[in-house]
Chains A and B, each alone.
Chain A
Amino acid sequence: MYNIIDSKYERGAILKVLTKNENICVECHQCEDACSVAFFKAADREKSSVRVDRKKTGEINLTTCTQCGVCIDVCPVQAISRDKNGIVRINKKECVGCFMCVAACPEDAMMYNKDLIEPFKCVSCGICTQECPTGAIKIEDI
């Protein structure tokens, strides 16, 4: 196999990840607004990297990125890589907009929006967690 992990990130180092506890989510959707305002300057849940909805079984479903990096492997132009803190980031300049990463994401956390020709994702900035009234989403070191 080929080493496709950005060498600047050392495995085992502390990685900040957005974690979730669906049991205490109250579905206020403030996280979605905070995320989309921060990155797209508009309160539009379709442009949020964290999502609140319901599973088919009726339970609350929070979509968050675990920074697992599956998307890194599927990108045909190596536009996705880990930064020095281990966060998986998209280099929009290199991205060819194929959206294979959207389908490959095991968490459905790689997002597509009709107004954008590249996908977008959570970068563990934590802005959404500041708006969460119950602590259902948190930035944690793993």
Chain B
Amino acid sequence: MNVEEMRKSHKRLTEFAYQTGTIDRGYNNRTLYINVSTNEIKEKPVSQEMKEKFIGGKGFGLKLMWDAVNDNTKWNDPENTIVVSGGPVCGTTQYPGAGKSLVVSISPATGIVIDSNVGGYFGPYLKFSGFDAMAIQGKAEKDIIIYINGDDGEIVIDEAPDEALDGHVLGEQLTEMYAKDEKDKKNISVITAGSAAKHTYMGLLNFTFYDLRRQVTRLKQAGRGGIGTVFRDKNIKGIVVRYAGTKGNSNKPANFDKVARTGIKLHREIERLDDNLMRIRQVGTANIIEVMSAHDLLPTHNFQYGTHENVVNIHSNVFRDNYLTQGLPDGCWFGCSLACAKAADKFKLKTGPYAGKLVTVDGPEYETAAGVGSNLGIFDPEAILEINFYCDTYAIDTISFGTTTAFVMECFERGIINKDITGGLELKFGNKEAALELLHQMSRGEGFGPIVGKGIRKLKQYFADNHGADYDFLHDIGMEAKGLEYSQYMSKESLAQQGGYTFANKGPQHDEAWLIFMDMVNNQIPTFDDKAEALHYFPMFRTWFGLMGFCKLPWNDIFPESNKYQDEPAKIPEHVQNYVDVYNGVTGFHIDKDELILQSERVYNFQKVFNLRLGGGSRESDIAPYRAVGPVTKEEYLSREDRYNKEMIEKIGMDPSNMTLEERIAATREYRMKQYYKLMDTVYARKGWSDQGVPTIEKLQELGMDFPDVIEVVKRYL
């Protein structure tokens, strides 16, 4: 069936006309509200206070969500909302990494708000079309497509029965359907989920951009927390935006020259230095596979170990030399000279419904290579690319898939589950065919796949309730907190990273704090106060990217030659100043680097209160499973015996030579958990929170976030 026939089968549900051309200094000062139950579409004004307190991006997402839901809203209730918002700098074309969208919703995995940062052209085009954010509420009766025509100021909702569900097919179909011709395809961006989103709690959203040189629709993912599952629960098939006419000043900055000069300075830095630093332009983020392995930090076999003899088979150069097309401007938004969005072209699939087809695989990013590679014991680059492809098109988060499947494989190898339970799948480490079949089952909604697709928190209970498993052991080895699976770094030997992961508002994801090198490798934050300061500054600084529509990578995956001479090189001070300059250049405001942190602190504390309001956010929810903190099993202890024995002598003050292995494991655990709780107390105090992790009324007043309904929530917990 061609796209014209598909279009003919559409049934128009509603139309909405609006005025375009409202953008000024990075804001349209209005948001778009769509209710897919009632087909109501309307504009909502953005107040000055909303801009000052919530800034944009994730801040706007949280604010609109707060107003849309109640204390008891669950992920699949109609009032749950999906908000997509760029932020004031989103759509800037001169500074690398300025096209991100932040997606916010109540997560099926965690039950609290999740936020996910995604590239592709949707965020910028939504803004140029006239809206600082888009909030979608309700549930459609049948599958629908929403089309936003930003050129003509028109929004429609159509029932759309015939289009595909899988992201790579639907992205192509809708791009072709709404573009006037080949050249016009770059003016279209589509949000899709995929066929597995409805059968799991780890469904993601694909955001597309059209690649003019490859002539394919590329996919970037809002991966974490199952927002694609919410999307499909609302019976949304796709959301399309079109905007033709992007120019360097489409975001209408207050000071174009300031923004452009700052951008050109960073473009030049990347041009000069990237090939000898991270090589992001060659291999994307996969450059750190070998770095992590060299430091014994690459999650292997469900985070038991930090390296493996076969890691060499998946080093970044293997992908670069054999699969990733080189020399193309692979940015996920115009002007990203760091160009991490690598792709393997004409990759021939071996399994599943698209077997034999030649496809373009986006990635693999580091998280994917580690998650579905080393963590599953799969050291085959083609298997990693194939799993990566199917995860994206089926709409499965590669991080949660990797971490959950690793957990299941360890359970299988330890005899906690068997082939009777897995429906015949031999889920041993390294079994790539079994991992792929699990994925195909998630797409089809059959067999063991959809059970695994509910994530580790549900699986722990399921294995304990139905198969007599020891829940406490599963809790020790199941790498989830708050219901979200850990992303792919080994935090065992870095106390600061244990906190960075597990205290994170949305669940353990590295985008709040990545302190392993500062803490473990470089020993720059030795005391509890140092660690707590880092666990205040970095989460706040990184939160700011999500308020803006910025990508994190151009902050510290490239740095100027002079950086090593700075007082605080880990902060990349010159780049922090770049961000201040770009923000001020766009908005015409006059913030400095301290005000930047304050902007984040307001939204960060608001998100924490939001978690409390939805029944999360407790001290208990900030406690890591023990595998994130130390060695659970004998094998893990023995794999780093020298390190742990040394710790016993130097830190714990015990002599390991007089102790059994079990005694040493127990003593290490007692010591490490004490350290962990002490870190928690220190960090809570630094953040201005109670010992239960609740923002105090004084703190909220100091931040100007003492709204009556916010105070009312914290009072329940103080």
- How far apart are the CA atoms of A98 and B259 in the complex, in Å? 11
Q: A2-B213, A77-B186, A114-B256 are in contact. Are A100 and B337 (CB under 8 A)?
A: yes
Q: Does B334 contact A (CB under 8 A)?
A: yes
Counting CB contacts under 8 A, is A102 at the interface? yes
Interface residues on B, range: 20 to 34
Contact A76 to B260, CB < 8 A, known contacts A97-B94, A100-B337:
no
Question: Interface majority SS on B: helix, strand, loop or mixed?
Answer: loop
Contact of A103 among B249, B257, B337 (CB under 8 A): B337
List residues 256-285 of chain B with CB under 8 A from any CB of chain A.
256-257, 260-261, 263-264, 267-268, 270-271
Q: Which residues of B contact A102 (CB under 8 A)?
A: 264, 267
Q: Which chain B residues lie closer than 8 Å to A96 at the CB level?
A: 93, 246-248, 334-335
Instruction: Give CA–CA (A41, B370) in the complex, Å.
Output: 57
Does A1 reach chain B (CB closer than 8 Å)? Answer: yes
Chain B residue contacts of A99, Cβ below 8 A: 94, 248, 260, 263-264, 267, 335
Contact yes or no, B328 A98, CB < 8 A: no
B residues less than 8 Å from A7 (CB atoms): none
B267/A103 in contact, CB under 8 A: yes
In the assembled complex, A73 has its CB within 8 A of some CB on chain B: yes
Q: Does A136 contact B (CB under 8 A)?
A: no
Count how many chain A residues have C-beta atoms less than 8 Å from C-beta atoms of the other chain: 22
On chain A, the residues within 8 Å of B214 by CB distance are 2
- Which DSSP category, helix, strand, loop or mixed, fits chain A's interface? loop
Point out the residue from A1, A4, A75, A98 that lies within 8 Å of B248, measured CB to CB. A98
Q: Does A104 sit within 8 A of B, measured CB to CB?
A: yes
Contact with B along A122-136 (1 / 0, CB 8 A): 000000000000000
Say yes or no for B685: interface residue by CB 8 A criterion. Answer: no
- Give a binary string over B319-332; 1 marks a CB under 8 Å from any A CB, 0 the rest: 00000011111010
Asked whether A114 and B260 contact (CB < 8 A) given A76-B329, A97-B249, the answer is: yes
* Cα(A4)–Cα(B328), bound, Å: 10
**Residue-by-residue, is A79-115 near B (CB-CB < 8 Å gives 1, otherwise 0)?**
0000000000000000111111011100000001010
Q: Are A114 and B257 touching (Cβ within 8 A)? A: yes
Partner of B337, one of A1, A74, A117: A74
Alpha-carbon gap, A112 to B263, bound state (A):
12
Please report the C-alpha to C-alpha distance between residue A125 and residue B328 in the assembled complex, in whole angstroms: 30
CB of B212 within 8 Å of the partner chain: yes
Contact in complex: B249, A75 (CB < 8 Å): no
Inter-subunit contact B248/A103 (CB<8 Å): no
**B329 x A100 contact (CB < 8 A):** yes
CB distance A100 to B247 under 8 Å? no
Contact A104 B93 (CB under 8 A): no
| CB-based contact B267/A100 at 8 Å | yes
- In the complex, which of the residues A2, A4, A100, A118 contacts B335, with contact meaning CB atoms closer than 8 Å? A100
Total contacts A-B at CB 8 Å:
78
A21 within 8 A of B: no
A114 contacts which chain B residues (CB < 8 A)? Answer: 256-257, 260-261
B212: A residues at CB distance < 8 A: 76-78
Residues of B within 8 A of A98 (CB): 93-94, 248, 263, 334-335, 337
CA separation between A112 and B337, bound complex, in Å? 17
Shortest Cβ distance from residue A106 to the other chain B in the assembled complex, whole angstroms: 9
Within 8 Å by CB of B329, from A1, A74, A97, lies: A74
| CB pair B270 A78 closer than 8 Å | no
> How far is it, in angstroms, between the C-alpha of A112 and the C-alpha of B167 when the chains are bound?
39
CB closest residue in chain A, given B326: A1
Verify A112–B247 contact, CB threshold 8 A: no
Q: Shortest Cβ distance from A3 into chain B, in angstroms?
A: 9
CA distance A115 to B504 in the complex (A): 44
What's the minimum C-beta distance from B227 to chain A, rounded to whole angstroms? 27
- Chain A residues lying within 8 Å of B213, measured Cβ to Cβ, are 2, 4, 78
Within 8 A of A (CB), among B78-108: 93-94
Q: For residue B339, give the distance in angstroms from its CB to the closest CB of chain A.
A: 9
Q: Is the CB of B256 within 8 A of A117?
A: yes
Chain B, 297-346, CB within 8 A of any chain A CB? 325-329, 331, 334-335, 337
In the assembled complex, the CB of A104 is this many whole angstroms from the nearest CB of chain B, namely 6
Contacts of A77 in B (CB 8 A): 186, 212, 334
Q: Tell whether, in the assembled complex, residue A73 and residue B268 are in contact, meaning their CB atoms are under 8 Å apart.
A: no
Chain B nearest Cβ from A2, distance in angstroms? 5
Nearest CB to that of B329 among chain A residues? A76
Shortest beta-carbon distance from A51 to chain B in Å: 16
Q: How far is the CA of A128 from the CA of B269 in the complex (A)?
A: 31
- From A4, A78, A112, contact of B260 by CB (8 A): A112
CA distance A76 to B271 in the complex (A): 15
Q: Determine if B264 and A2 form an interchain contact, defined as CB atoms under 8 angstroms apart.
A: no
Picked from B249, B257, B331, the residue with its CB within 8 Å of the CB of A76 is B331
Contact pick for A97, options B93, B186, B270, B271, CB 8 Å: B93
Task: List chain A residues, Cβ under 8 A from B268.
Answer: 103
Complex: how many Å from CA A104 to CA B260? 15
A117 proximity list for chain B (CB < 8 A): 247-249, 256
When distances are taken between beta carbons in the complex, the residues of chain A under 8 Å from B261 are 112, 114
Q: In chain A, residues 1-40, which have Cβ atoms closer than 8 Å to a Cβ of chain B? A: 1-2, 4
Across the interface, B264 reaches (CB within 8 A) one of A4, A95, A112, namely: A112
B270 touches A103 (CB 8 A): yes
Query: Which residues on B sit within 8 Å (CB–CB) of A104?
Result: 267, 271, 337
Q: Within the complex, what minimum Cβ distance (angstroms) separates A21 from chain B?
A: 27
> With A and B bound together, what is the CA distance between A16 and B370 in angstroms?
51
Query: How near does chain B come to A77, taking the closest CB pair, in angstroms?
Result: 7
Contact with A along B202-233 (1 / 0, CB 8 A): 00000000001110000000000000000000
CA gap between A75 and B212 in the complex, in Å: 11
Cα A126 to Cα B490 in complex, Å, equals: 61
How many angstroms from the CA of A4 to the CA of B215 in the assembled complex?
Answer: 13
Q: Which residue from chain A places its CB closest to the CB of B92 in the assembled complex?
A: A98
Chain B residues with CB below 8 A from A76, complex form: 212, 329, 331, 334-335
CA gap between A76 and B337 in the complex, in Å: 9
With a cutoff of 8 Å between Cβ atoms, the chain B residues found around residue A75 in the complex are 329
Residues on A with beta carbons closer than 8 Å to the beta carbon of B246: 96
How far apart are the CA atoms of A102 and B325 in the complex, in Å?
A: 23
Chain A residues with Cβ below 8 Å from B337 are 74, 98, 100, 103-104
Q: How far is the CB of A82 from chain B (nearest CB, A)?
A: 16
B260 / chain A contacts, CB cutoff of 8 Å: 97, 99, 112, 114
Report the bound CA distance from A77 to B246 in whole Å: 11
Contact residues in B for A103 (Cβ distance below 8 Å): 264, 267-268, 270-271, 337
Q: How long is the Cα–Cα vector from A103 to B323 in the complex, in angstroms?
A: 27
User: Which partner residue on chain B sits nearest A94 by CB separation?
Assistant: B183
Q: Which of chain B's residues have a CB closer than 8 A to the CB of A1?
A: 325-327
* B-facing residues in A29-67 (Cβ within 8 Å): none
Q: Which of A4, A78, A98, A112 has the most CB of B within 10 A?
A: A98
Q: Which residues of B contact A73 (CB under 8 A)?
A: 327-329
Which residues of A approach B to under 8 Å, CB–CB?
1-2, 4, 73-78, 95-100, 102-104, 112, 114, 117-118
Q: Which 3 A-B pairs have the closest CB atoms?
A: A97-B248, A98-B335, A103-B267
- Listed A/B pairs (18) with beta-carbon separation below 8 Å: A1-B325, A2-B214, A2-B328, A4-B213, A74-B329, A75-B329, A77-B334, A95-B248, A97-B93, A99-B248, A99-B263, A99-B267, A100-B267, A100-B337, A103-B267, A103-B268, A112-B260, A114-B257
Contacts A96-B246, A103-B267 supplied; 4 other A-B pairs, CB < 8 Å: A74-B337, A75-B329, A95-B248, A103-B268
